[in-house]
């Protein structure tokens, strides 16, 4: 089998890998749940390539992500649920439906994207989805009956916290400004200190989560994306630590042979380099 630019070749490869008789033993034993973590990982690797500005790597990572879509579609086809073509049709229908100002009739195009139109269309889509689930004998609320239950559980925790808060804010369940949230953060830190003083591991975990949730809420009011802010801090930490490592190596020493005080001095040097830069 030869490689190709045609998507059908990738679908053929996936089908061959999943063939019960001649396929790859590892691929054959996988299911939706076991593959899902890889799908999430590949999405992050796409984002990483973008952040690094590496377009060659982005091409490869997009291919890996596309493979995940084909993988799930192949398993669904084996279960006689849907195929890759159905996935393509569903998303093309959705994009056309959600952009009447681009793909609609002359009246829709002239009206432009009216305020609230996007949410109205999404509401119509949810209603149709509920009807389809009822017709199949399933719970009409695929994520649960509550107002916030449509937020996917598999999202990164910081992102899910933000989306939960944003959705609750739509119905007025929100702080009026950032100031009271700072007070709430201090309150949560106090409760965390109490849990630590009691040596209560379960409460410590719970209170720590409350602090993080409140910090995400503060970021939302400050127009600061928590994921992006933490990503920046992660990179800053990596860069400073790398400075410590390089400096020690230049002196003929390694990390294991250095004291905390030595590493802290070099850490402060790294911060100074950042400020001067």
> One digit per residue, pLDDT tens: the chain, 277 residues?
888 999 999 999 999 999 999 999 999 999 999 999 899 889 989 988 998 899 999 999 999 999 999 999 999 999 999 999 999 999 999 898 888 878 877 666 665 555 566 667 777 777 777 777 777 776 665 555 678 887 888 788 898 999 999 999 988 999 999 999 999 999 999 999 999 999 999 999 999 999 999 999 999 999 999 988 998 899 999 999 999 999 999 999 889 989 999 999 999 999 988 888 6
In the block, tokens 């007070």 appear at 183
The angle subtended at Cα 132 by Cα 127 and Cα 133, nearest 5°, is 100
Cβ burial, residue 17 (10 Å; 0-12/13-18/19+): middle
| CA atoms within a 13 Å half-sphere pointing along the CA-CB vector of 187 | 9
In the block, tokens 């890998």 appear at 17
Are the CB atoms for 213 and 161 separated by under 8 Å?
A: yes
User: For residue 222, which of 177, 265, 258, 263 has the smallest C-alpha distance?
Assistant: 177
pTM over 0.85: no
Structure tokens at 35: 């593959």
Q: What does the alpha-carbon distance between residue 65 and residue 71 come to, in Å, rounded to a whole number?
A: 10
Cβ burial, residue 250 (10 Å; 0-12/13-18/19+): exposed
Q: What does the alpha-carbon distance between residue 211 and residue 48 come to, in Å, rounded to a whole number?
A: 27
DSSP secondary structure of 231-258: HHHHHHHHHHHHHHHHHHHHTT--STTS
Structure tokens at 191: 């409760």
């Amino acid at each position: 089998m030869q490689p190709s630019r045609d998507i059908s070749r990738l679908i053929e490869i996936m089908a061959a890998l999943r063939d019960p008789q001649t396929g790859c033993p590892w691929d054959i034993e996988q299911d939706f749940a076991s593959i899902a973590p890889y799908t999430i990982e590949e999405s992050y690797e796409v984002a990483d390539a973008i952040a690094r500005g590496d377009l060659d790597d982005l091409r490869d990572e997009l291919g890996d992500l596309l493979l995940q879509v084909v993988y799930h579609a192949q398993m669904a086809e084996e279960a006689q649920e849907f195929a890759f073509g159905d996935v393509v049709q569903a998303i093309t229908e959705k994009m056309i439906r959600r952009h009447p100002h681009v793909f609609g009739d002359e009246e829709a195009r002239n009206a432009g994207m009216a305020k609230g139109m996007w949410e109205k269309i999404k509401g119509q889509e949810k209603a149709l989805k509920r009807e389809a689930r009822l017709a199949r004998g399933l719970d009409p609320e695929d994520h649960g009956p509550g107002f916030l239950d449509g937020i996917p559980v598999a999202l990164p925790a910081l992102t899910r916290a933000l989306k939960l808060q944003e959705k609750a804010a739509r119905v007025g369940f929100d702080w009026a400004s950032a100031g009271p949230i700072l007070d709430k953060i201090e309150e949560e830190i106090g409760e965390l200190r109490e849990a630590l003083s009691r040596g209560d591991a379960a409460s410590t975990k719970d209170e720590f989560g409350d602090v993080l949730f409140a910090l995400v809420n503060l970021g939302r009011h400050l127009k600061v994306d928590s994921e992006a802010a933490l990503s920046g801090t992660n990179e800053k930490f990596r860069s400073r630590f790398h400075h410590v490592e390089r400096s020690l190596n230049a002196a003929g020493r390694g990390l294991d042979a250095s004291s905390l005080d030595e590493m802290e001095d070099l850490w402060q040097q790294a911060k100074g380099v950042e400020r001067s830069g």
